[in-house]
Every structure is written in C-alpha cells, then in structure tokens.
Structure 1
Amino acid sequence: MVDELDRVGQYDLGPISLNNFGEKYFFNLNRNSFDKVSAEALFDSKYGKDLFGEDTLNVIIGTDSGLLPQYLQRKSLPKGARYIFIEPEGVLQALKQNQLLDGLDEKILCIGLEQWPEAIKSFKISDYLYINAVRSYNAICAQDDHIGEYAELSWHITEVLSQLHWQISVELGSEAFIARQIVNLADNGRPAKLLEKAFIDKTVLLLAGGPSLDEVLPWLGLHRDEVVVFAVSRISRQLLQANIEPDFVFSVDPTELSFDISKEMLEFSNKPIFVYSYHTVPTLVNQWHGLGLYLGPRLPWPSPLNVANIGSAGPTVTNTALSVAHHFGFKRIVLAGVDLCFTREGFTHASGSDEQLAGPRFNLTSLQVETNAGFMAPTSCDFAQAILSLSFQAKQLSDMGCRIINISGSAAKVDHIEYLPISEIEFGDGNVNVAEIVAERVNESAEYDKYHKKILDELGRAQFQIKGIARLAENARRINDEMYSADGIIENYKDKKRLDQIEKKFKREHRHYSKLVKSFGIRSFIKLTKPFNDEEWSAEEAKQLGNVFYDAYQEGASKLMRLLDESVERVQARQQEYAAVPNFDLVTAQYRKDRSFGRVRVWKASAAKVPGHVQTEFTEFEKRFVEIVHDKNTRHFAKAKSHGSLSSLRQRAGLLFKHKKVEELNDLLASLDKHQDQQAVEPYRQLIAGYSAELQHKPAQALDAYRHIVDGGEALVEQALIRIADIGIDNDDIHTANLALQCLSQLNPFYLPLYAEMQRLHGDVLVAIDAYNNYIGQFPQDTLVQIKLANLYTEQGIYDAAGMMLDYILAQKPGLEVAVAMKTALASAGF
C-alpha cells in the first residue's frame, strides 16, 4: 500500500505560493524568505546599489522564482548594465511554464548552463572583463539550495569566471603586472640569464605544493646531497618543517595573497637562490636576503637596461620553473607535488599548507581526471586548464631533448610526462656543487651603486616623457571642450587640426611611453569603444567622447607618474644602503612605506656604524618582520577555510548521493576525521554514513545513522527525516514512513500533502482531510492538491464538501477540465 506514495526526497519546486504583497514564488525554492517582507524590500536590503552599477555585467545564480529579474526591471536598468541569470534546467522550464520570466528587458538573460557560452558571447563578457566590471552573486534560493541543484552550478560558474578574469589580465599585460615591475626596479639587479646552460645534462627535482609532496619529503631528507632541488615558494613552510632547503626557490605571482602563502621562504638561510618574475609581489623580492635572479624584462619600456634574459613563462609558477630548468641546461626534470588534482578526501595541497590546515575542501564540482595510477580524482577548472598547458609545454621540452618524469601515482596523468616512482629513478649526477657553479657565473658583489645610478637615469627619462604626455592631454582636453557648439557641432576646424597634431605627437615623440600610459588608463580607453551601449551617440555624448579620451590619457599618466616618483625614492633609499655615511632616516622611512621590515637583516650584515636610535628602530623592524612571517591568520587562510564550509559539505554529500557515488561518499566520510571541529561535523558524518549505507542496500544501518541526527535535534534534521520517510516507503514500513512524514509536515508545510496521502492510504481519513486543508490554507493556488482533496471528499461520500472545493477551484480557474468533469459527475449522481 505504501508503494503507491510518491518518494519524499524527489526533486520538487513545491507549489506556487502568493505572499501578502502579491508576489508569486515556488515555495520549496524560496520557503519562507518572502513571508514577512516583500521581495523588493529584501532585495533592497541584501543588494543595495550593488546590482545597479553602470557598464557592469552581473552574473547571478538563481532568479528567486523570477522575482529578482522582475525587481531589476521595475527599478529601471543602469546604462551599459547587463544581467545573466543562470538556473538549473528544470527550474528554468518551470519558471517559463508559469510565466514568471515574461516581459524581461533584452538586457536581462535567464538561461541554463548549456546557453552560457552563447550568452557571454552575445553580452560581450570580454569587454566587461577588460574594465574589471564582471560581478557574480548567488540569489537567495541559491544560497539556501533547498532543492540540491544550485551548489555545483555556483561552484562551477565561480571557477569559470575566475579563469576568465585571469586570462584577460594576462592578455591586457595588466596594469598590476607593470606596476609591480616598476616597484621591483630597485632590486632587479641580476637577470636569470646569467645561469643559462650552467647545469648541462644534469637532473633536477622540481617540488610543487600538491598533496603528493608528502610522499617525497622523507626520501629527500635522506638523499638531499644527491640532487639539485627547485621549489615553488608556497611550499617553504613544509620544507622548513622537514629541515630541507632547496637550491632554487621560485615565485611569479603579483598578488598580496602570494606573499601570505610564500612568506616562510624568508626564513631560509641565504644559500637558496630566489628566481622570480619581474612582476612578483615586491614584499618577497625586497626582503629576500640571498641571491636573487629576475625573469623577463627589467623595464616596461624599451631600454638598454633590458638585457637579454630568460622569459617568465606561465601561466603557473610550475610552468616557469620547468622553463627555467630547461634554460639552465637540465636534461631530466623530476616532478613531485605537481598533482593538478585533489585527494579523494578533498585535500588540494600538501600537509602543513593553509589549504590542508583549513580542512578538506567540500565545494568540488563533479569534474574528474585520470591519475597516473589509473584511478579518477576530483579536480577544478583551473587545474584542468593547467593540465593542458603543462602537456603543451612538456611536448615542447621533450622535442628539445628534455625528459620529464612525475613520481606520483596520485597526480593527474599528463601527456608527454612519464610516470615513474622515485625508487626507480637513478640520480647519477653525484654531489652537484650548486654554489660553486653559480659563483663561476654570478658576481655576488655586483656594483649596485652603478646599477642604481643607471636606473635613476632611466626613471628620469620616463618622468620627462610622462610629464610631456600629461601636458599634451591637458591641452587637448581644453581644446576639445572649446571646439564644440552647444549643439555638439565643431565650430572651429583649426582646433580639430591642433588636436590631430597632438595625436601625432603621442604617436611619434612619445610612442613607447604613450602605449605605457594607455596600459594604466586601459579601462577608460576600452569604454570609448562603447561596447555596452547599443544606442547612437547623442550630440552631447559625441562632445564628451573626446574629453573621455584625453581624461584617460591624464588618468594613466597620473597613475604611472606616482609609481615612477615612488620608484625614484626607493632607488635613492637603496643607494643610501651602500653609502659610506647612510641617511638612516631616509632608508627606514622607505622600509616602513614598503612594509619591507625584513630588509634590515640585509643591511645589518653590511652596514657601518649604526646610531643608537636607529638600532632601536632596527630591533622594532625585526620584531615586526617575525610577527608577519609567523602570522597564520592570513587572508589566504580565511579563503581556504571558506572552501570547507559545512553548507558546502551538506551540498557535496547530497550531490554524491544523487549520483550514487558510494566510493566518493566514503572518501568524504574519511575526510571528516581531519576536520577541525569534530562536534560540528558529527551530524554530517551520520548523514554521509546513512547515504552510503542506503546505496549499499543496508536500510537498517542507514536508519540508525539518520535517527542519530533526529535525536540530536539540530542540524540536518529535515534531510534525515526525508531519508527515513523514503526508506519506510521503499520497504513498505508504514509506521516508519508515517512518523517521519508527520515530523516533516510539522517542520515544513511542503510535506503536508505527502503526510495527508499517507493517512489516506492507511485509513485515517479525518487526519488526511485536516492535513490537506491545512496545506490549502497556506497555498490557496495549488490546484493539484485541491483536486486531491475533492477526490477524497467524494470517495468518503462527503459530497457537499467536494462540491464546495470544486466550486472554489473553478472560481480560480474557470473551465479547468478535470474540475468540470468532477462537478458534472457529482451532478449526474444527484449531488
């Protein structure tokens, strides 16, 4: 009898609900979000002005039953703004069928994931990315995710957008990269080219931060003298804990987060050599106390100081280290910790990393890759792209005679990279004396005073050029303002000719520097192409076009000039470090400004007599430096912890259960043993155990796990009761199913019809009628349930009530075929 009942845990949006403000929404999508406050008031409070920026592309997961796009439409859309709403396909179709997305402006798209490529192309996402104007949000329904459909969609879009942002930044030669390059000028004394082919035909072990790093460190501790070691900077903490120092340490990232994850490298001795990109975060570069070699061009404009050098190959630091290994002459490159996938438990990095300390990552999509050992492992969109990039690079290096080997079976399988356990690799180079080889090529006592003088001369030339560009832009702006009449018509064509002459000067006299200025005003220049506005320029807008153009030049020149001025001050401070009688105040002021407190270690080793008050300041700086390096509560750690939120854990468990992934559920269960808050994860442990038992056809074991959750009475009670009810239904266990449905109907009115149907099936008709009426009182527009109640009245011979219910239905939906037929049948029977 119970098998006639619908399953409780099935995907269902619930009825269309109507709140006191006349707003319609799917109840199980939004539950009680709009009960006490209107959608408009809630959206005003939640988003404020965030959704109303001009020239912005907003990507929003979920539509809140169509209420959010309708809200935007009523508010009137900002100039140049576009909106892409993404819904699960089933939700999207239900919204369309119920006309909840009707009448939307063409600047608002509501799509499923399959339409994403077409949507971002038609809305010109690249143009918005160029001006850093893509914003992403989760609607309320996506945050709550009562239907278990939004989490993976949200995780996927977040990864895709992050990847697109990175690609555009690289394409633009981003302002941030050039800014870092100018900041690092004071310290970019030695190019990495100095070690070109210095290690011909030797073997190098390249260490990255993946989980398999843990496998090689014990071996490396025993065989350290037998191999040259490259290490990415982010694993410095783990190397220090293992009492291992690399020969070379690498960094390429310009962001402050890179400092957070790499700062422990500053605790190495001065023996390792720091190889870094010209745009690496300056706080690593200017506090490094050993030999440093920069990659790429020294200056962002043509100059004799841009000596031949090894390029800063990307996109990742691993790609860069591989490229450098080839240029240094290594013919065999052995990879460890280059996994590009996660462990089965959801760990993304090796022991001791922020990611590992934060606990397992739960917001994983269903994307998987094959490993060297032949099993499948979860990965991310950016890792998947990195696999393709690494494969392409490995092929190039292999064609040039390099042999690349990965020692980890749990690493992603990459074309053109061999898999070989480290025990089977012969490191036959003997004891390679790296320091001796480097000393033959690199003069560590370089004449920095001459270098700094040359850099100051270059900066002076650049300042002269940028000032000239700024003057021209200011003059052009004034001419353009005066050139038009009130109607937007050019009155004096001599002014137009003067502007043309200024434009020629930009291109001829200031050609290279003008291009550089544009890099700093790029976002304003891109707006000039008017990619976001389909309307024709008005006369006033045509007049303003020239102003925007010259303002963009002035903006870029102003930003660049500030950087150049600051760079001059920084180089002058470096000169004082080598002066016979240093200006200590100037130097320490620069250290404070750059937050390069650790630089005092470099200076103390060579500085002459230091006054007492400066010694006190040095002591303070060293203390600040130690505090910063040892501080574990960084922004990066906070970000890592966010990937392991308990809401993501619930959503991931539900996804794995839905897709019947028993092995992955057991891996997820095992990962909880390493979670920081064991008490908080206990109900999640029981839920996952129950899911796994169900999929293994062990209903008694599953029920036991779910009942532990219900007895706890806090988190996940609804999820546990759903599973208990379904197990009861599947096993024809009336008592279990009935009790679970009764509890569910008290928690959430969405379950009242199922509870009513259960009572009807085993004869408690009055309870069933009460449950139906209770539900209809809360959802008066759910015609299907009203029909079910009319049927029940008819079956029980309560014809007056059946007739009243049918009249109520027909008043709402005149001519509804099933209601008319039932009404006719009652009339034919004389009721």
Structure 2
Amino acid sequence: MTTAERSSTTTPDYRGSLTSSREWLQTQQGDWILPSINARHFGAQQGATPETGDKRSKSHAQLVLAEHFGDRLHQEDRLYVIIGSDSGQLLRYIREHAPMPRGSRWLIIEPEDILQTLRQNPAISALCDDFVQLVGFNEWQEQAALLQLPAYFRIDGVRLERSLGALDGTDPQYIELTAHLDAHLTAERFRKTAELNLAPFIEPNILSAPNFHGGIDRFKNLFAGQRAVIIAGGPSLDDQIDWLLEHRDTLFIIAVSRVSGRLQDVGITPDIVVTVDPFPISLTVSRQMFDFPEQTVLMASSHPYPRITNRWPHSLFCTGPLVPWPDDSVNDRDALSSAGPTVTHMAAQLAGYMGFREVIFCGLDLCHTPDGRTHAAGSSEASAGPIMEFSALPVVTNSGESAWTTPDYFAGIQAMSEIAEQSNTVRFINPSTNAAVIDGIEHVPLDRIAVPTTAFDRDPLDRMRQDTDNEARKRHLNALAESLETIENDLGKVANLAQLGLESNQAYFNLTHPDRQKRHKRRMQAIDRLFEGRFRRAARLAQQAAKRAIMRTALPHDFFALDRHQAESLASQYYDAIREQARRLTGTIALARERVATRLLEHDQNASADEIARRYVEHDEPERVRWLEANRATVASSAIEQAQSSYATLIDGLLEKDRQRNWEKRSPRASLRQIERLFSSRKAEGLRSLAESLDRHQDAETARPYAHYAHGLKHELDGELPEAAEQHARVIDQVDTQHDIVLLEHALLRLTHINLEANDPATALTVLQTAASINPGHWRLVARLALLENDAETGITALTRHLEQFPGDVERVKQMVRLFVALEIPDGVPFCEQYLPYCAPAARLELEAFLKDARNALESPGESS
C-alpha cells in the first residue's frame, strides 16, 4: 500500500495542516531558527544551491539583522527593552559586537511558549548573562528593576525595540507584548522625567519669563464653591458643543489651547486658555488662540513654547515659578507641577486650585472612537483621519463598551485618576458616554446636569486682570532684569570653575607631577564647595540642565570596576557637562535680557512701533508683532511687515511638519497591525469603521488593498465567506508586491483558510503554495496539505522546496524518503543523502540508518506494503 493510499483511508484534517509547531530548523546557510517566526526573514534565497562543511557562507541571519538594526542596539548608556529575539539570533547579534558598549544592558522579552523553546537550547542560554537577559512576560518587570530601569529613564536611556518577527506580527502574542510594554514604559517615562527639570524645559522657562504678568498665587480660591467646565480636544466635544453654546453665559470655561479654532468657529469665548508643552507643535495646533478678545486670560506652565507666550496679546500668568532658580522677587510662593501628559491635566489642577467645587469635562475621552478618531472636528488630527499605527490597549468606556487607547493616553487615564483622588473636595464629572472610565470621575449625561439660570459672575477674574497696570508691570520687569543679570554673571563663573575642575581632574589622573596630586584634589574639592555655597543657584541650574549627562557618569556603572582612564573620563564628563550647559544657558539668559528690554520699551509711550518691531526681528521673536497690533496704534512700516512675513514663514513651516507628522501616523501601510488586532478581538464594527476610513484615505492607491483586507476580515467575522474570499482576492490582485509583501502573505493565508472552510482543499493548496513562495516556512504546510489530498507529486515538490531552505530538517527528510519508498522511486534515497552534512551529528547517524533501511526496502519491494 502506498503512502497516498494509506492517507485516503482517513478523513483529512485540513485545519491541522495549517498549524505550525515550535521546532528548530537549520537554514541552508547554517542558521538555527524557528521557522514559524523567522522563515521569511532568514530563509536563504530561492533556488540557491546548498553549501556544505566549511564552505558555508557567513551567517545570513546576522547580515539581515545588521542591515535592519545597524548600530542602533549598540549605543552607550542604554537599557534596550526588546520584544522578541528572532529565534535567538538577536542575542548573537548583540553579543558579536566587540567591545560591548559601556554602560548598556539588554532585556529581551519573549512570549512564554517561545521562551521555553529558547531556554531549552544550550547555545542560546550561553549568550545570556547579567548584561544580556532573556525573560518572559511574567518576569520582565522584576528583571528590569534589577537592570536599573529607573536610573536609565533618568538619563533618557530606555529604548523599546521590536525584533523582525515582532515587527511583522508573525505571532499575535508579539502584538499584545508590544502594546503592554509600550504602555508601561510610556507611563513610567512620564513619571520619571517629570521629576527632572530637564534642559528642554529650562530654556522655554527662561525665554517665557519676560512675557508673564505674574504667578499663580492670586488665583487661589478665586471662585471657591463654584462650577467650572474644562473643554478638552477629544472627539466627544463634537456632541457637546451645542450644550456649551446653549449655556455659555452660565458657565465658567477653561479651555485647552488646541480647541481655540473650533471654539471660535462656533462663537464660544473661554474665560481661561491653558497651554503647557514647550514644543513647536503647541503653536501649530493652537495658532488661532491669539484671536480671542482681551477678557480671555492665558494660563501657562513654567515652560510653554516661548513663541506662544511671545505672541499672546492679553493677560498672561504662570502656574509655576517664573524663573527656574530660587528668587522671591519674581517667583510666587505657590506652584502647580504638571501631573499628567496632557494639557487637560493641568487645567484640572488649576480648577481645583481656583476653588471650584465641581468640574465638568467636555471633550475628555482619552481613547479612540470606534472609527479610530482621537480628536474633535476642526483639528489637524481629525482632518488627517484616524491613526493607523499605534500600540493599542483596551479600556472600558462609560457606556460599558471596550475601546482602544494609546500608551500616552493610558498614562493620562492613570494620572487623571490621581488628580481626582488628590482633589478630594472637587467633584469631577465626565458626561461623555464613549470616554474611558477614570476612577474618581463620575459619568453623568449632559441632560442630567442641572444648569444655573443666571449668568456666571466672573468679576473676580476681571478685577485681577485689570490690577496689572503699566507701573506694576514695569516693576516686575525690572526685578526680572536684575535676577537675569545676577544669574548670568554667576553662570559665567560656574563655567570657569568647571573648566578649572576639568583641568585639575586631568592633571590628577595624568600623574605628570605625582607630588602635586593632593593640590589638584584639594582644588576640585574647593570647586565643589563653591558649587554648593556661593554659586549654588547658578551651579544647580547648570546641573539641572546637564542632569542626564551627569547621571551617565554615575549610573549604572560600577565605579570600582573602572580603570584609571575610565575614572578620569567619567569625572571629565561631569565637569564638561556643567561647563557646556552653563555656557549655553548664558546665551539663553542674554537673549531673555534683551527681550525684557523690549518689554520695557513696549510700555514706553515715546517708543515708536517701528522701533519695537525692529527689536522683535533682531531678537528672533517676530510673532510678538501680534501684541503690538493689539496694544499699540501702529502704522505700516518695513519692520512691522518684516516681522509679519517672518512669522508667516515660520508658521507655514510648522504646519508642513504637522501635516507630515499626521501623515506618518496615518499611512495605510501602518494599519495592518490594527486591522488584525480588531479581527483577533472579533470587533466587527471597528473593522467596518477602519475599512471605511481606508476607503476614504487620500492615498487611495496604497490604501485600497488594506481596505479590501479589512472588509474581508469583517465578512469573515460575519460568517460571509464568499464575500470575504472576494475581498481577499482583490487584495492579491491590487497589492504592491514590493512594499506590501506582508499584507500579501496574510491575505493568502486567510484565503487558504476560507477555502478549507468551504471544503475546497485543491484551491487552498494552490493559494498556500503562493504564500510559501513568499515565506518558505509555509512549504512544509503545503506538503502536509498535499499529502492529505493524496497529491504525492506536489508533496514531494513542497518538501524539496522546504529542504532547500532548511536542509537539516531531519523529520522532513524522513517524510520525503517514505514517499520515495511508497512510490518506489529508487533515485529518491540517493537524492536525500545530500542533506546529511546539514544534520546534527546524533541526528545524522540516525538518518544514515534510516536511509539504509529505505534502500533495503526499495531493493525488496514486497516488504514496502
């Protein structure tokens, strides 16, 4: 009886034919891999001739990894958190870099089943030690703590990377791992970096200082016992805008700056606008805010984007210290520190500080709508369409449904809950049904919120705003000028002392004059005392700005394991970081002093608008011309026109960057992970919405096959297999095989599955063969399916193609030998002998015996049945 005849006596298990196990196979070029994860990445070129013995080429897997990662995994002072090990090849790639970068660690995380397979391989276990660790999901946090994760966060040294297998989503577990780790690390990064007054925040603090009218003290309990509405930029605002319009006069409104354009479109003027972030994107998304009337007050963090505070033409106050060093003459006693990743968090803290007993949020969602929207209409994000690429985390909404959110929003949910807990005298309400559930915030629909019938009395805010007259403003600016001058002088001395420390450290370690070592040591000790004493303010400022560079000299190194040269280098880095930051800050403060002089000139009625505008251009604040237009009688002049033109050019450049940023997050090719995430969680409505978004995508040609794929998966969830097959067939017809090869492979596999479900194994076999031409890991599945269909010829061809890629696969060699024996093909056994050199020694002996038995069976055909 032949093998084909034997198989016909049992019912074919088509579903099992597509199951791929975790087994080690050696590629043609000698790399041991798990084909279910990395066959497509590390398989040899199609049709290549197997090499044997010492003639094997350099590891193909290592070449592929080198081309993808370059030196990205070998920077100093990094903790690399890597999802997936690419069959352990990534461990080898990390190890083969010599010497290993100083101060770096690698934490590679695998799903539990893959981890156990890897740990059973002694060669992979040998690649792990205290610096390079391979762990599972259940132990990664403990190991990350041992590898000093918080310390690496403080030096901005944590990097999240994905292996090739994780990038392709070859196993759904990688998608879940990515989402979890991205969320955890994003939240932890915010908490750790929020503790540091880092360089990107110090410069905006200094450059915004000349614009502030004062600090936050005067706002304390300004509206004790009242109710406020905070308007955020989430998509639920679209459903709440009519309610806000209807009751505007009875509400006190605090709005985040990014909704300014939308509010102006519908005729809503907020009482307070809030801005926080020090990055240019803040100006891009909030550029319409400067058209609000003078009764709108701007509240900013200590470190807003300076061009926003430069351009604001009305009252402007700061929620934190006006300057980033202790100075009672300019800084208020109280300060609010941002407790969350969005401006809405600062608005919530501000409302509590102002004494409001009830706060209603509008537009606070912190999750995506079913069709993938993250922002309200009128925003650049809404205009660009739903985000396609993000690490998704499931959250429960106020309606009880589930929704996706991103890691930064997930951190925002936790932070908002903490704010609600700390503000225990404030009742927070979120009327949005589709918003994420936040502990400490009640969900009350708008129609159940009682609204007063009388207008809100905002006189306390108006009186406070009008109290800031010209003379008070001049006194404040003069005090600020004196503070800036003092700190500038001290910073110059700190830079000189750091230079002296650098020279003394080099002399101490060079041993040029050993008898002078004590003198150099005493000099460095004296410098440190001056840093802690006479120049403490300036030294602390420079150290804060250089904090990450300084921390690299202390953590996570073992100082006692350093040689003399390394110890000298670390100390030199310490002094050099302080020197460079002191010099850089001196330039920033000099610019701030010039801007203070300009502000004083603004209050001099004898100074002409043209003269002031010239200073705007000279000191790189052309956006300030908006203040001039709103507060001084101006006439056309070349200086004013130049300032206006410079600002227009600036904002056009920022808008183009914003469009590019939105485009990158919404590229159709980035949607594949989200499409399959929705399918695996059986969210048919989400798939429909995403498919329709792709149908409308502006890059229609690229988006079309992804839309068909999403429609096809939606039909599969609905049990409409013919319609699903039609959609997947369109993917195959329309896909760009050069750039969308993963989509093509996935569509072919889905079509294979549909044909098996429809009891059409012949078509399924043809489709699966096409998938195998893309990913050689599927050839053994083709062979299995062909043999279930009694197609021995196709089975042999598939096994041959598989063994071209994985010549050391002993089980598949045996399977082919059995076929040759069953079909009585005597040349088959000698053909299979070519694979012997690729087998491990123990397996080779076993295979040799098996081949000998096969030859004997062919010589005695009567015994083969």
TM-score relative to the length of structure 2: 0.86
The structure 2 residue matched to 1:203, chosen from 219, 222, 227, is 227
Structure 1 segment 56-135 matched on structure 2, within 5 A: 56-76=78-98, 77-97=100-120, 101-104=124-127, 106=129, 107-135=131-159
Deviation at 1:277, TM superposition (A): 1.0
State the SS of the aligned residue for 2:190. Answer: helix
Select the residue among 764, 771, 775 that pairs with 2:802.
775
1:566 aligns with 2:575: no
Label 1:195 to 1:661 Cα distance change in 2 as closer, same or farther (>3 A).
Answer: closer
Q: How does 1:421-570 map to 2 (within 5 A)?
A: 421-428=445-452, 430-434=454-458, 437-439=461-463, 442-447=466-471, 448-483=473-508, 486=511, 491-533=516-558, 536-544=561-569, 546-570=571-595
- In the alignment, is the contact (CA less than 8 A) between 1:283 and 1:595 conserved in 2? no
* Structure 1 segments unaligned to the other structure (5+ residues): none
- Which residue number corresponds to residue 788 of structure 1? 815
2:405 maps to 1:383 = no
- 8 A Cα contact 1:12 1:147, kept in partner: no
2:419 is the alignment partner of 1:393: yes
State the match for 1:4 in structure 2: 13
Matched, 1:287 2:299: no
Secondary structure of the equivalent of 2:395?
Answer: strand
Would you say 1:582 and 2:607 are equivalent positions?
yes
Task: Determine if contact 1:790/1:806 at 8 Å carries over to the other structure.
Answer: no
Cα shift at 1:250: 0.5
Spell out, residue by residue over 1:565-591, the C-alpha distance to the aligned partner (whole angstroms, 9 max, x if none). Answer: 221122112222223443878744653
User: In 1, are the aligned partners of 2:509 and 2:564 still within 8 Å (CA)?
Assistant: no
1:646 match: 668
- Name the aligned partner's letter for residue 770 of structure 1: T
Alpha-carbon distance between aligned partners in 2 of 1:153 and 1:590, rounded to the nearest angstrom:
54
Q: Mark the CA change 1:814 to 1:62 in structure 2 (over 3 Å): closer, same or farther.
A: closer
- On the 8 A contact 1:15/1:26 being kept in 2, the answer is yes
- Residues 281-290 or 491-500, more deviating: 491-500
CA distance, structure 2, for counterparts of residue 485 and residue 678 of structure 1: 66
2:688 matches 1:658: no
1:176 is matched with 200
Alignment partner, residue 602 of structure 1? 627
CA distance in structure 2 between the partners assigned to 1:543 and 1:631 by the alignment: 45
CA pair 266-441 structure 1, distance change in 2 beyond 3 A: closer
The residue type paired with residue 724 of structure 1 is L
Structure 2 counterpart of 1:174, one-letter code: L
Decide which moves more: 224-233 or 264-273: 264-273
Is 1:167 equivalent to 2:218 in the alignment? no
1:241 aligned to 2:250?
A: no
Higher mean alpha-carbon deviation, 623-632 vs 116-125, is at 623-632
Aligned to 2:52: none
Q: Does 1:684 align with 2:710?
A: no
C-alpha separation in 2, matches of 1:742 and 1:310 = 66
Q: Which residue in the other structure is 2:753 paired with?
A: 726
SS of structure 2 residue aligned to 1:642: helix
Q: Equivalents in 1 of 2:626, 2:679: separation in Å?
A: 55
- Tell me if the contact between 1:5 and 1:754 (Cα under 8 Å) persists in the aligned partners: no
Q: d(CA) in 1 for partners of 2:325 and 2:805?
A: 70
CA distance in 2 between partners of 1:746 and 1:479 (Å) = 66
Matched residues in 2 for 1:270 and 1:626: separation?
A: 23
Q: CA deviation at 1:208?
A: 0.5
Does 2:715 match 1:697? Answer: no
**Secondary structure in 2 matching 1:598:** helix
Secondary structure of 2:793's counterpart equals helix
Matched residue type, 1:351: A
748 and 433 in structure 1: CA distance in 2 versus 1, 3 angstrom threshold: same
Partner of 1:361: 387
Residue 762 (structure 1) aligns with: 789
Alpha-carbon distance between aligned partners in 2 of 1:166 and 1:671, rounded to the nearest angstrom: 32
- The separation in 2 between residues aligned to 1:561 and 1:591, in whole angstroms, is 20
Q: Is the 8 A contact 1:597 1:624 kept in 2?
A: yes
Provide the rounded CA distance (Å) in 2 between the counterparts of 1:735 and 1:301.
76
**What is the CA distance between 1:60 and its match in structure 2?**
3.5
Amino acid at match of 1:3: P
TM-fit CA distance, 1:734: 3.0
Matched, 1:264 2:288: yes
1:31 aligned partner: 40
Is the 1:151–1:648 contact (alpha carbons within 8 Å) kept by the matching residues of 2? no
Task: Judge conservation of contact 1:202–1:429 (CA < 8 Å) in 2.
Answer: no
Deviation at 1:661, TM superposition (A): 4.0
Separation in 1, partners of 2:803, 2:43: 18
Distance in 2 (CA, whole Å) between partners of 1:146 and 1:261 is: 37
Opposite residue 78 of structure 1, the aligned amino acid is: P
* Structure 2 unmatched ranges of 5 or more: 1-9, 46-57, 861-865
1:620 corresponding residue in structure 2: 642
C-alpha deviation, 1:2, in angstroms: 6.8
Q: Give the Cα–Cα distance (whole angstroms) in 2 for the partners of residues 80 and 133 of structure 1.
A: 10
Matched residue type, 1:164? E
Counterpart of 1:341? 367
- Letter paired with 1:456: A
Q: How far, CA to CA, are the matches of 1:431 and 1:528 in structure 2?
A: 59
Tell me if 1:217 matches 2:241. yes
- CA drift of 1:233 comes to 0.9
Structure-2 separation of matches of 1:371 and 1:805: 60
Distance in structure 2 (CA, Å) of the matches to 1:539 and 1:759: 67
Counterparts of 1:267-346 in structure 2, within 5 Å, are 267-304=291-328, 305-315=330-340, 316-346=342-372
Greater shift, 32-41 or 143-152, is seen at 32-41
Q: Percent identity?
A: 27
> Deviations for 1:247-272, whole angstroms, at most 9, x for unmatched residues?
21101112222222222212333332
Q: Which range moved further: 473-482 or 234-243?
A: 473-482
Call closer, same or farther: CA 1:293–1:824 in 2, change over 3 Å: same
- Is 1:18 aligned to residue 27 of structure 2? yes
Tell me the secondary structure at the aligned position of residue 455 of structure 2. coil
Distance in 1, matches of 2:711 and 2:852, equals: 50
**Structure-1-length-normalised TM-score:** 0.90
Distance of aligned partners of 1:496 and 1:660 in 2 relative to their CA distance in 1, 3 Å threshold: same
Residue 52 of structure 1 aligns with an amino acid whose one-letter code is H
- Distance in 2 separating the partners of 1:544 and 1:825: 68
Distance 1:598 1:811 in 2: 70
Aligned equivalents of 2:253, 2:634: Cα separation in 1:
38
Q: What amino acid maps onto 1:189 in structure 2?
A: H
Mapped partners of 2:654, 2:486: distance in 1: 43
1:755-778 CA-to-partner distances (Å, cap 9, x unmatched) read 334433334333332332233234
* Residue pairs, 1:700-715, within 5 angstroms: 700-712=722-734, 714=736
- Tell me what 2:255 maps to: 231
In structure 2, the CA distance between the partners of 1:730 and 1:314, relative to structure 1 (3 Å rule), is same
Deviation at 1:220, TM superposition (A): 2.0
Compute the RMSD of aligned alpha carbons.
3.4
Number of the residue aligned with 2:3:
none
2:765 to 720, 734, 738: 738
Query: SS at the partner of 1:340?
Result: coil
Deviation of 1:360 (Å) = 1.5
Give the conservation status (yes or no) of the 8 Å contact 1:810–1:819: no
Offset at residue 439 of structure 1 (A): 2.7
Give per-residue Cα distances to partners, 1:409-456, cap 9 Å, x unaligned. 111222332222212222216222536741356424332322221111
Equivalent residue letter for 1:620: Q
